[in-house]
Structure formats: C-alpha cells, structure tokens
C-alpha cells in the first residue's frame, strides 16, 4: 500500500463557514464541534459557521477553531476511509492537531493549550511591535543573508517559516522587517505582508514561549500511534519530553515545513491528505512538485476519490502478496509434471492478470481475488508445505492486507474446507 501522510494547516487557513458542510454531511464532525464548545465554555461552532471574520481571526479564537476543524476532519477520515497513516505533520498550530490525532495528546488538553497559546500570541499582537511578511521569488540563501545582515538583539528579523522552495516568511521587529522588505524587493522578491502584528516564530516570542511551557508541563503525553514530524527539527518526535521542548521552541524558532515535506518524500509517501480548512498545505506541496497527489477531506469528492484509490490499492496489494508468497515458499515436491500443473501454470495465469489490472489501474473483482487465493492454495499444496505453515502464511496475508471480508466468501471453496487454512 502507498504510504500516507496526514497534513494539518495552521493560522491563515480559517474562513467563516469552515467545518459547516462537514458537520452537515457527517455526524462525527458535528459531535467534535459540540465537544469543543463544552470544553472551551463558549460557542466556537457559531463563530466558525456564522460569526464575523474579525472575531474568528483573533488568534485566541483562530487557534482552537483550527484545531477543532482539523480534528473533525480527521474523525471523518477515520470513519469514512479508516486507513492508518504512517506519518502526520501540522504547520505551526497545526502541529497540535497532528499530535492530538496520533493519540499523543487528548483533544481536551490540546484545546486548552492552543487556547492559552492563542491568548499569549494575541497579547503579543496587541503590543504591535512585530511583523510578518511572506517572500516569494528569491532563494532561501538570499533571504537568510539579508536577515543576518539587518538583525540585531533589540530589533531582530529572521526567517520564521521555511514553507516551500518558492515561499518563505520573515518575522521580527517591525522596523527591521521593513528594512528587510526594502532590500528583498530590490533583489526582485515579491513581498506579501501577513495580517498579524506580532513576530511569531521569532526571538520576540520568548516571553510567550516561557509562559506556554508552564501549560505544556501540566499535560499528559502518550506515545504517538505513528510518526509525527516536529516543526522545529523537520524530523519525527522521539519521546514525550521532546514534545514539550519542541512545542516550546516552536514559538521562537522557524517552522521547517519544507524540510518536513522533503523528509516525507524521502520516506516514500505517495498520498498527502490535508485535514482542515482550505488547501494551503497542498498548494505549498505543489510549489515543489506539481504532480504530487493531494486530497482534501473538507471536499466530499476527494473523500470519494480516496475511497476508490484505497480500494484499488488494497485489492492489488492482496494479489501482490499472494504472488510474492507463492514465489518465496520452499518447494518439497520434485515431481516436475505436478509442479508445472500446480505451481507454474496457476502462477503465470494470476501474474498476467495482475499485470494487466495494474497497468490499466482497474480494480480486481472478488472473483479475481478468489483466483489469486486459489492459485496460492494450489502452490502450497503442490510444494508440500506443512499444514501449520500454510495456516500461518494465509493468516499473515489476511492481517497484512485486510483481506478477511474477501475470504469470507471462500468458505465453500476446496482449499479452505480441505485444509482449514483460515477463519
């Protein structure tokens, strides 16, 4: 099966109406928003669905809203698709959603943390000393060089987000950022001011980071069910203490999103599924590779396409496993005629069928999967594989491919009733 990564967006993805369609289509999403309302003590759902943008964009509202929308999307994904990912990653506040959905932090604790995080960031914004600007059209080396020249202890300017090969974000003291903008524009860059008045992910957030650490220390952390990538390192978390350190440092250090995406590509991820409002992270991925395949759970059509894609992959994987097992098992039968009839002929027949289906991207039917299992049954019998080993082989295929529902249809077939290999 193709490796799967779940992506959770950060601040800037919010919009009025986010999550509303999801809640109308899926009860589990509506329940998630109701749960958030109870935990937070105010009507977050109403703000998201029909509030004013001025209220939703307040950082202390935005962050729990994004977390809730992302967790709602994840629960829909698990209920409708149910394919466990190998990786998850979230951009800035999205990292809390990635950890929550992996089981590392409870939804209730995560909501309380991001609510506090948002309040701390909102306080920093009200001081109006900081600024953030997106930069496109320049190499990261050029952007880093300008920041290094202009940055001082009192008026820092740094790269706050390494978003993609084409986009980065700088942050820092307003005066230093303005100086950097002037120089970067002269170098040919396109500069886009962000609608925030604080320098997130920069040294100017150190006081906020120290206060957040106190909140992070009060929460129970569990081991994630799959790899979760840290914004600070661009690599997977290693332990629970590492989570506290990293989430604290995330306030003052850059989001290494591009490095995160490079890591996932190196690990062979083939499906990127964005869980939350809009498709900001999918678009950043396409900055690096236009052909990368992404899905948005907020879009019901994408959910349907995902179901079809996973069903195709899963069924082809069953055939692949049967063919690979047939080749790998040891032969104990030296009767060449029996071997040709019981091993070579059925194997070639199924292999030809598999290659045709794979090339045409056609989903195997139940009957074609039955044929693959019948082929393997013929091979193990002909090769005189001991019964206990036969049982173990078929059991492993069932566990690794999720083929149990298909195999229920084989109860009356000769190899199942005769050898009692499964069920």
Specify the number of domains making up the chain.
3
Question: CATH no. for residue 151?
Answer: 3.30.70.250
360 domain residue, yes or no = yes
Do 61 and 29 share a domain, yes or no? yes
- Strand, coil or helix: 193: strand
Do 268 and 386 share a domain, yes or no? no
Angstrom distance (rounded) from CA 112 to CA 187? 43
Do 104 and 211 share a domain, yes or no? yes
305 domain residue, yes or no = no
Band (410; pLDDT cuts 50, 70, 90) = very low
pLDDT of 248-282, one tens digit each? 999 999 999 999 999 999 999 999 999 999 999 99
Q: Which of 193, 224, 246 is the last residue of a domain?
A: 193
Do 39 and 171 share a domain, yes or no? no
Q: What's the token pair of residue 402?
A: 């999720």
Give the total residue count for the chain.
423
Do 43 and 9 share a domain, yes or no? yes
Q: Which of 271, 298, 325 is the last residue of a domain?
A: 298
108 domain residue, yes or no = yes
Domain limits at 133? 128-193
Angstrom distance (rounded) from CA 14 to CA 404? 41
> Mean pLDDT throughout 333-340?
94
Q: What is the pLDDT of residue 5?
A: 97
Question: Please, which residues have CB within 8 angstroms of residue 60's CB and are 6 or more apart in sequence?
Answer: 115, 118, 119, 121, 122
The residues that bridge with 272 in the sheet, in sequence order, are: 5, 294
Question: CATH no. for residue 12?
Answer: 3.40.366.10
391 domain residue, yes or no = yes
Which strand ranges, in their side-by-side order, compose the sheet holding 227-229?
Answer: 227-229, 87-90, 3-8, 269-274, 294-296
pLDDT of 342-384, one tens digit each? 999 999 999 999 999 989 888 898 889 989 999 999 999 999 9
> Mean pLDDT throughout 5-30?
96
> Mean pLDDT throughout 305-324?
88
The alpha carbon dihedral of 43, 49, 52, 58 has a sign of positive
Angstrom distance (rounded) from CA 186 to CA 179? 11
Nearest to 92 by CA among 131, 60, 111, 66: 66
Do 157 and 207 share a domain, yes or no? no
Q: Which of 298, 322, 345 is the last residue of a domain?
A: 298
| End-to-end C-alpha distance for the chain, whole angstroms | 24
Q: Average pLDDT, whole number, for the chain?
A: 91
Choose between 347 and 404: higher pLDDT. Answer: 347
Kind plus residue range of the DSSP H or E element containing 63? helix 59-80
The question of whether 378 is a catalytic residue gets the answer no
Q: What is the pLDDT of residue 414?
A: 37
> Mean pLDDT throughout 303-313?
87
Lowest-confidence region among 72-76, 80-84, 375-379: 80-84
Do 59 and 74 share a domain, yes or no? yes
> Mean pLDDT throughout 79-93?
94
> Mean pLDDT throughout 161-186?
97
412 domain residue, yes or no = yes
Return phi, psi of residue 363, to 5°. Answer: -75, 130
Do 135 and 274 share a domain, yes or no? no
Do 275 and 219 share a domain, yes or no? yes
303 domain residue, yes or no = no
Catalytic residue among 13, 70, 88, 92: 92
98 domain residue, yes or no = yes
Question: Please, which residues have CB within 8 angstroms of residue 95's CB and are 6 or more apart in sequence?
Answer: 8, 89, 228, 230, 231, 247, 250
pLDDT of 206-249, one tens digit each? 999 999 999 999 999 999 999 999 999 999 998 876 899 999 99
The question of whether 92 is a catalytic residue gets the answer yes
Q: What is the pLDDT of residue 24?
A: 96
Helices (H), 151-256: 174-186, 206-216, 240-249
Q: What's the token pair of residue 403?
A: 């083929």
Do 182 and 329 share a domain, yes or no? no
The residues that bridge with 4 in the sheet, in sequence order, are: 271
216 domain residue, yes or no = yes
The pTM assigned to this predicted structure is: 0.82
* Whether the predicted pLDDT of 49 surpasses 70: yes
Catalytic residue among 201, 202, 230, 377: 201
Do 83 and 53 share a domain, yes or no? yes
Q: What is the pLDDT of residue 83?
A: 87
Helices (H), 267-363: 280-288, 300-328, 336-339, 345-360
Do 410 and 289 share a domain, yes or no? no
């Amino acid at each position: 099966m193709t490796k799967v990564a779940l992506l959770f967006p950060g601040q800037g993805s919010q919009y009025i109406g986010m999550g509303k369609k999801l809640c109308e289509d899926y009860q589990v999403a509506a329940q998630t928003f109701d749960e958030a309302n109870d935990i937070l003590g105010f009507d977050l759902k109403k703000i998201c669905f029909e509030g004013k943008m001025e209220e939703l964009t307040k950082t202390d509202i935005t962050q729990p809203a994004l977390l809730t929308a992302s967790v709602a999307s994840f629960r829909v994904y698990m209920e409708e698709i149910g394919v466990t990912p190998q990786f998850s990653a979230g951009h800035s506040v999205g990292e809390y959603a990635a950890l929550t959905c992996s089981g590392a932090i409870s939804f209730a604790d995560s909501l309380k943390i991001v609510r506090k995080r948002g309040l701390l960031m909102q306080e920093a914004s009200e001081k109006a000393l900081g600024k953030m600007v997106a930069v496109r059209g320049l190499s990261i080396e050029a952007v880093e060089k300008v920041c290094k020249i202009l940055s001082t202890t009192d008026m820092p300017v740094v790269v706050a987000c390494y978003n993609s090969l084409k986009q980065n974000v700088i942050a820092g003291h307003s005066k230093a950022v303005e100086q950097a903008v002037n120089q970067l524009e002269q170098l040919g860059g396109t500069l886009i001011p962000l609608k925030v008045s604080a320098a997130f992910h920069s040294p100017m957030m150190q006081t906020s980071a120290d206060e957040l650490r106190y909140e992070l220390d009060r929460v129970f952390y569990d081991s994630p069910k799959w790899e979760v990538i840290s914004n600070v390192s661009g690599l997977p978390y290693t332990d629970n203490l590492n989570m506290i350190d990293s989430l604290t440092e995330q306030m003052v250090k850059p989001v290494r999103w591009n490095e995160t995406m490079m890591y996932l590509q190196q690990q062979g991820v083939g499906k990127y599924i964005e869980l939350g409002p809009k498709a900001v992270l999918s678009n950043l991925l396409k900055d690096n590779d236009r052909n990368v395949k992404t899905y948005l759970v907020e879009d019901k059509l994408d959910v349907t396409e995902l179901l079809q894609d996973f069903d195709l992959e899963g069924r082809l994987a069953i055939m692949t496993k049967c063919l690979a097992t047939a080749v790998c098992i040891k032969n104990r039968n030296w009767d060449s005629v029996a071997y040709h009839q019981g091993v070579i002929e059925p194997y070639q027949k199924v292999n030809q069928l598999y290659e045709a289906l794979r090339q045409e991207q056609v989903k195997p039917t139940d009957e074609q999967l039955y044929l693959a299992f019948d082929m393997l049954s013929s091979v193990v019998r002909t090769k005189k594989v001991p019964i206990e080993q036969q049982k173990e082989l078929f059991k492993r295929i069932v566990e690794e491919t999720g083929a149990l529902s298909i195999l229920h249809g084989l109860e009356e077939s000769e190899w199942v009733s005769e050898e009692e290999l499964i069920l």
